[in-house]
């Protein structure tokens, strides 16, 4: 009898559990579910690395660090020649590819004089000089290059071969001339005679500046010995040695004219001395100089 009532109670308990589950299912189906969105909110933008990237690029950019210019009464010159009129070159003129320094001096209490110094350093006994010649060969009568010492004594004079096309040309100081001495200043002149009118004498146009030879410090000497040519360009530029930085880079560009890295370095180096307008001018493989 006891077992019978236990079965009745178990069946009743099971029945109540079953109806509870059945009653729970409508509650499940009736519970509202949030609709799944068809589109997702945009992802947050990545962290801004543009400024850091710009700073890194700027830090690696080739740039000339100019040394302090010589004191008052130093190397006054002109980097750009007076454009010859009537030659059909859009007022372009001969340009020496060198740094310039603008300085103002008070000559008197009420008078200020602005002076342009054209000057650069080299480590070489026989450095190379670079000039932009905008004229066609048919318009050039002659080109002459002269180097003098501080006492205005001519050490080197040469008639330069006329380039076939307009562009940037180079003149290496011939080893028949006396080598540049350390810490001495040398005055150079680049003169061109342009035939603007066949019925008139050629017009003279020239640029002038100064070069000074220096000995690099021992640390720089060691770095240069271990460096690649492209690394030497940067070492020269960072240490203010203009002529050697320019010549090394120009020779690299002549050897690899399609190298984009060298093209960027060339633009940045010229831009650092305000000559970026020459960056796309061709480098001309000339000019054989015949020393007098």
State the residue range of the domain holding 111: 61-291
Domain-located, residue 83:
yes
Task: State the Cα–Cα distance between residues 88 and 63, nearest whole angstrom.
Answer: 34
Is the pLDDT at 19 greater than 60? The verdict is no
Other C-beta atoms closer than 10 Å to the C-beta of 17 total: 10
Helix, coil or strand: residue 80: strand
Residue in this structure with the two tokens 């602005």, named with its chain if needed: 114
Domain-located, residue 13:
no
Report the candidate in 204, 221, 162, 212 with the shortest Cα–Cα distance to residue 187: 212
Is the pLDDT at 61 greater than 80? The verdict is yes
* 283 DSSP 8-state letter: B
Domain-located, residue 56:
no
pLDDT (average), residues 137-153? 95
| Number of domains present in the structure of the chain | 1
- What is the enclosing helix (H) or strand (E) of 113? strand 112-122
- What is the enclosing helix (H) or strand (E) of 229? helix 229-238
* 182 DSSP 8-state letter: B
The structure tokens listed for 182 are: 């350390």
Is the pLDDT at 58 greater than 70? The verdict is no
Domain-located, residue 170:
yes
Report the candidate in 243, 236, 204, 199 with the shortest Cα–Cα distance to residue 220: 236
User: Which has the higher per-residue pLDDT, 285 or 245?
Assistant: 245
Dmax (CA) for the chain in angstroms is 146
Report the candidate in 159, 132, 157 with the shortest Cα–Cα distance to residue 284: 132
Domain-located, residue 21:
no
Strand partners, 231: none
Predicted pLDDT of residue 88: 58
Q: What is the pTM of this model?
A: 0.77
Domain-located, residue 41:
no
Count of residues making up the chain: 292
Backbone angles phi, psi at 48, to 5 degrees: -75, 110
pLDDT (average), residues 199-222? 93
Predicted pLDDT of residue 176: 87
Pairing state between β 185-194 and 140-148 = antiparallel
Domain-located, residue 141:
yes
- What is the enclosing helix (H) or strand (E) of 105? strand 100-106
Domain-located, residue 30:
no
């Amino acid at each position: 009898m006891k077992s019978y009532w236990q079965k009745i109670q178990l069946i009743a308990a099971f029945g109540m559990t079953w109806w509870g589950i059945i009653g729970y299912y409508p509650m499940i189906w009736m519970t509202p579910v949030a609709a799944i969105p068809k589109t997702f909110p945009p992802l947050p933008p990545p962290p801004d690395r543009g400024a850091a990237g710009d700073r890194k690029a700027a830090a690696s950019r080739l740039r000339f660090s100019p040394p302090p210019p010589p004191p008052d009464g130093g190397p006054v010159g002109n980097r750009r020649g007076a454009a010859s009129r009537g030659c059909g070159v859009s007022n372009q003129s001969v340009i020496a590819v060198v740094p310039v320094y603008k300085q103002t001096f008070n000559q008197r209490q009420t008078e200020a004089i602005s002076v342009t110094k054209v000057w650069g350093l080299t480590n070489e006994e026989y450095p190379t000089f670079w000039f932009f010649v905008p004229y066609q060969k048919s318009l050039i009568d002659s080109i002459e290059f002269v180097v003098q010492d501080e006492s205005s004594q001519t050490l080197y004079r040469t008639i330069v071969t006329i380039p076939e096309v307009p562009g940037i040309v180079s003149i290496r100081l011939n080893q028949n001339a006396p080598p540049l001495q350390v810490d001495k200043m040398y005055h150079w002149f680049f003169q061109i005679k342009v035939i603007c009118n066949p019925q008139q004498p050629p017009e003279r146009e020239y640029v002038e500046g100064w070069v000074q030879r220096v000995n690099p410090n021992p640390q720089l000497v060691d770095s240069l010995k271990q460096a690649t040519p492209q690394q030497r360009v940067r070492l020269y530029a960072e240490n203010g040695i203009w002529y050697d930085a320019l010549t090394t880079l120009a020779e690299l560009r002549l050897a690899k004219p399609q190298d984009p890295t060298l093209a960027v370095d060339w633009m940045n180096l010229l831009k650092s001395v305000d000559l970026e307008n020459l960056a796309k001018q061709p480098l001309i493989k000339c000019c054989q100089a015949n020393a007098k």
